[in-house]
Amino acid sequence: MSAEQAFRKQALAGLTDATGVYALCDLDGQPIYVGQSVDGIRSRVRRHLTSARSDVIANRQIDVWEVAFVRAWEVEGRAEIAAMERRVFAHFDAILPLMNGAALSDALPVDPPPEPGQTVQVIPERERLDRLTPDRRLARQINQYELLVDYILTVKNAPHLKKSLDAHFSRLVRYHQMFLT
Protein backbone atom coordinates (compact mmCIF):
# COMPACT_ATOMS: atom_id res chain seq x y z
CA MET A 1 0.00 0.00 0.00
CA SER A 2 1.39 3.40 -1.01
CA ALA A 3 1.78 6.24 1.48
CA GLU A 4 -1.08 8.08 -0.25
CA GLN A 5 -3.37 5.04 0.01
CA ALA A 6 -2.47 4.62 3.68
CA PHE A 7 -3.22 8.31 4.30
CA ARG A 8 -6.60 8.00 2.56
CA LYS A 9 -7.48 4.84 4.47
CA GLN A 10 -6.67 6.50 7.81
CA ALA A 11 -8.53 9.70 6.86
CA LEU A 12 -11.63 7.76 5.82
CA ALA A 13 -11.54 5.77 9.05
CA GLY A 14 -12.22 9.06 10.82
CA LEU A 15 -15.17 9.97 8.60
CA THR A 16 -18.62 9.45 10.10
CA ASP A 17 -20.52 6.36 9.05
CA ALA A 18 -23.85 7.90 10.02
CA THR A 19 -26.51 8.38 7.37
CA GLY A 20 -26.65 11.71 5.58
CA VAL A 21 -25.20 13.81 2.80
CA TYR A 22 -21.62 14.21 1.62
CA ALA A 23 -19.73 16.36 -0.85
CA LEU A 24 -16.61 15.22 -2.64
CA CYS A 25 -14.46 18.34 -2.90
CA ASP A 26 -11.62 19.20 -5.25
CA LEU A 27 -8.09 20.32 -4.51
CA ASP A 28 -9.39 23.83 -3.75
CA GLY A 29 -12.03 22.53 -1.34
CA GLN A 30 -14.82 23.25 -3.85
CA PRO A 31 -17.51 20.52 -4.06
CA ILE A 32 -17.55 18.61 -7.35
CA TYR A 33 -20.14 15.97 -6.44
CA VAL A 34 -22.91 15.79 -3.82
CA GLY A 35 -24.39 12.50 -2.74
CA GLN A 36 -26.36 10.84 -0.01
CA SER A 37 -26.04 7.63 1.90
CA VAL A 38 -28.73 5.81 3.81
CA ASP A 39 -26.28 3.08 4.80
CA GLY A 40 -23.32 5.15 6.03
CA ILE A 41 -21.37 8.07 4.62
CA ARG A 42 -17.93 6.52 5.20
CA SER A 43 -18.90 3.33 3.37
CA ARG A 44 -20.34 5.21 0.41
CA VAL A 45 -17.42 7.62 0.09
CA ARG A 46 -14.94 4.75 0.35
CA ARG A 47 -16.69 3.06 -2.60
CA HIS A 48 -16.37 6.27 -4.65
CA LEU A 49 -12.70 6.75 -3.86
CA THR A 50 -11.75 3.15 -4.60
CA SER A 51 -13.92 2.93 -7.73
CA ALA A 52 -15.73 -0.02 -6.22
CA ARG A 53 -19.37 -0.02 -7.30
CA SER A 54 -19.51 3.67 -8.04
CA ASP A 55 -21.40 4.74 -11.15
CA VAL A 56 -19.97 8.27 -11.06
CA ILE A 57 -16.48 6.80 -11.32
CA ALA A 58 -17.37 4.09 -13.84
CA ASN A 59 -19.08 6.50 -16.22
CA ARG A 60 -16.28 9.06 -15.92
CA GLN A 61 -18.33 11.80 -14.21
CA ILE A 62 -15.66 12.53 -11.62
CA ASP A 63 -11.93 12.01 -11.42
CA VAL A 64 -10.85 10.64 -8.03
CA TRP A 65 -7.43 12.29 -8.54
CA GLU A 66 -9.14 15.67 -8.04
CA VAL A 67 -10.85 14.71 -4.74
CA ALA A 68 -8.95 16.11 -1.76
CA PHE A 69 -11.66 16.68 0.84
CA VAL A 70 -14.95 15.16 1.92
CA ARG A 71 -17.62 17.17 3.72
CA ALA A 72 -20.31 15.33 5.65
CA TRP A 73 -23.70 16.32 7.03
CA GLU A 74 -25.27 13.75 9.35
CA VAL A 75 -29.01 13.50 8.68
CA GLU A 76 -31.54 10.86 9.67
CA GLY A 77 -34.61 9.78 7.74
CA ARG A 78 -34.89 9.27 4.00
CA ALA A 79 -37.01 12.38 3.36
CA GLU A 80 -34.70 14.54 5.48
CA ILE A 81 -31.61 13.17 3.73
CA ALA A 82 -33.13 13.87 0.30
CA ALA A 83 -34.06 17.41 1.34
CA MET A 84 -30.55 18.13 2.64
CA GLU A 85 -28.97 16.66 -0.49
CA ARG A 86 -31.05 19.01 -2.66
CA ARG A 87 -30.17 21.95 -0.42
CA VAL A 88 -26.43 21.23 -0.54
CA PHE A 89 -26.57 20.52 -4.28
CA ALA A 90 -28.50 23.71 -5.14
CA HIS A 91 -26.13 25.88 -3.14
CA PHE A 92 -22.88 24.54 -4.57
CA ASP A 93 -24.11 23.94 -8.13
CA ALA A 94 -24.97 27.65 -8.33
CA ILE A 95 -21.35 28.53 -7.47
CA LEU A 96 -19.59 26.09 -9.82
CA PRO A 97 -21.47 23.38 -11.73
CA LEU A 98 -21.29 19.97 -10.07
CA MET A 99 -20.64 16.64 -11.76
CA ASN A 100 -23.88 15.06 -10.50
CA GLY A 101 -25.68 15.42 -13.78
CA ALA A 102 -29.49 15.45 -13.77
CA ALA A 103 -29.96 13.55 -10.53
CA LEU A 104 -30.70 16.78 -8.68
CA SER A 105 -31.45 19.15 -11.54
CA ASP A 106 -34.79 20.06 -9.96
CA ALA A 107 -33.07 21.40 -6.83
CA LEU A 108 -34.00 25.04 -6.46
CA PRO A 109 -31.73 27.53 -4.71
CA VAL A 110 -32.69 27.89 -1.09
CA ASP A 111 -30.90 29.00 2.03
CA PRO A 112 -27.28 27.85 2.13
CA PRO A 113 -26.82 24.54 3.90
CA PRO A 114 -25.46 24.51 7.43
CA GLU A 115 -21.74 24.03 7.90
CA PRO A 116 -20.86 20.36 7.49
CA GLY A 117 -20.47 18.42 10.68
CA GLN A 118 -17.19 17.12 9.38
CA THR A 119 -14.57 17.92 6.75
CA VAL A 120 -11.88 15.32 6.13
CA GLN A 121 -8.81 15.74 3.93
CA VAL A 122 -8.23 12.49 2.03
CA ILE A 123 -4.85 13.16 0.41
CA PRO A 124 -1.67 14.41 2.10
CA GLU A 125 -1.24 18.18 2.02
CA ARG A 126 2.07 17.96 0.14
CA GLU A 127 0.39 15.91 -2.58
CA ARG A 128 -2.57 18.30 -2.74
CA LEU A 129 -0.24 21.27 -3.22
CA ASP A 130 1.69 19.41 -5.92
CA ARG A 131 -1.54 18.58 -7.78
CA LEU A 132 -2.60 22.24 -7.67
CA THR A 133 0.07 23.18 -10.20
CA PRO A 134 -1.69 24.42 -13.36
CA ASP A 135 0.24 22.13 -15.72
CA ARG A 136 -0.73 18.95 -13.85
CA ARG A 137 -4.29 20.04 -13.27
CA LEU A 138 -4.95 21.15 -16.85
CA ALA A 139 -3.49 17.97 -18.33
CA ARG A 140 -5.56 15.84 -15.99
CA GLN A 141 -8.75 17.80 -16.76
CA ILE A 142 -8.18 17.50 -20.52
CA ASN A 143 -7.86 13.74 -20.12
CA GLN A 144 -10.98 13.50 -17.93
CA TYR A 145 -12.97 15.57 -20.42
CA GLU A 146 -11.85 13.28 -23.25
CA LEU A 147 -12.77 10.15 -21.24
CA LEU A 148 -16.26 11.47 -20.58
CA VAL A 149 -16.79 12.45 -24.22
CA ASP A 150 -15.70 8.97 -25.29
CA TYR A 151 -18.01 7.37 -22.73
CA ILE A 152 -20.95 9.43 -24.01
CA LEU A 153 -20.18 8.58 -27.65
CA THR A 154 -19.51 4.87 -27.20
CA VAL A 155 -21.44 3.71 -24.12
CA LYS A 156 -24.27 5.97 -23.04
CA ASN A 157 -25.55 9.24 -24.44
CA ALA A 158 -27.59 10.58 -21.53
CA PRO A 159 -28.58 14.11 -20.47
CA HIS A 160 -27.07 13.73 -16.99
CA LEU A 161 -23.72 12.81 -18.52
CA LYS A 162 -23.87 15.83 -20.82
CA LYS A 163 -24.54 18.03 -17.80
CA SER A 164 -21.44 16.54 -16.16
CA LEU A 165 -19.51 17.18 -19.36
CA ASP A 166 -20.58 20.82 -19.21
CA ALA A 167 -19.35 21.03 -15.60
CA HIS A 168 -16.02 19.55 -16.69
CA PHE A 169 -15.79 22.10 -19.48
CA SER A 170 -16.28 24.94 -16.98
CA ARG A 171 -13.38 23.57 -14.97
CA LEU A 172 -11.31 23.04 -18.10
CA VAL A 173 -11.69 26.71 -19.01
CA ARG A 174 -10.78 27.71 -15.45
CA TYR A 175 -7.67 25.51 -15.40
CA HIS A 176 -6.71 26.74 -18.88
CA GLN A 177 -6.78 30.34 -17.63
CA MET A 178 -4.68 29.38 -14.59
CA PHE A 179 -2.19 27.67 -16.90
CA LEU A 180 -1.83 30.79 -19.06
CA THR A 181 -1.11 33.11 -16.14
Residue 105 pLDDT exceeds 60: no
Q: What is the pTM of this model?
A: 0.92
Residues 37-57 have pLDDT tens digits of 999 999 999 998 886 666 777
Q: Is the pLDDT of residue 121 over 60?
A: yes
- What is the pLDDT averaged over residues 22-45? 95
pLDDT at 104: 59
C-alpha separations of 13 from 6, 72, 168, 179 in Å? 11, 13, 30, 35
- Count structural domains, the chain: 1
Band (pLDDT 50/70/90 cuts) for residue 35 is very high
Q: Supply the pLDDT for residue 101.
A: 62
Q: Considering only residues 111 and 115, tell me which one the structure prediction assigns the higher pLDDT.
A: 115
CB atoms within 10 A of CB 25: 24
Cβ(172)–Cβ(141) under 8 Å? yes
- CB contact set of 154 (below 8 Å; sequence gap of 6+): none
Domain that holds residue 102: 3-180
- pLDDT class of 103 with cuts at 50, 70, 90: low
* CATH number assigned to the domain comprising residue 128: 3.40.1440.10
3-state secondary structure of 56: helix
Question: What's residue 135's pLDDT?
Answer: 94
- Residue-wise pLDDT for 123-171, tens only, equals 999 999 999 999 999 999 999 999 999 999 999 999 888 989 999 999 9
Summarised one tens digit per residue, pLDDT across range 48-95 is 888 666 677 777 888 899 999 999 999 999 999 999 998 999 899 888
16 band by pLDDT with thresholds 50, 70 and 90: very high
| SS3 annotation, 137-181 | HHHHHHHHHHHHHHHHHHCCCCHHHHHHHHHHHHHHHHHHHHHHC
List Cβ neighbours of 131 (8 Å cut-off, separation of 6 or more). 27, 65, 66, 68, 123, 137, 140
Who's near 176: CB < 8 A, 6+ residues apart?
138
Which pLDDT score, from 0 to 100, does residue 17 have?
Answer: 94
Average pLDDT rounded to a whole number, residues 31-41? 94
* Counts of helices then strands in the chain (DSSP H, E): 7, 4
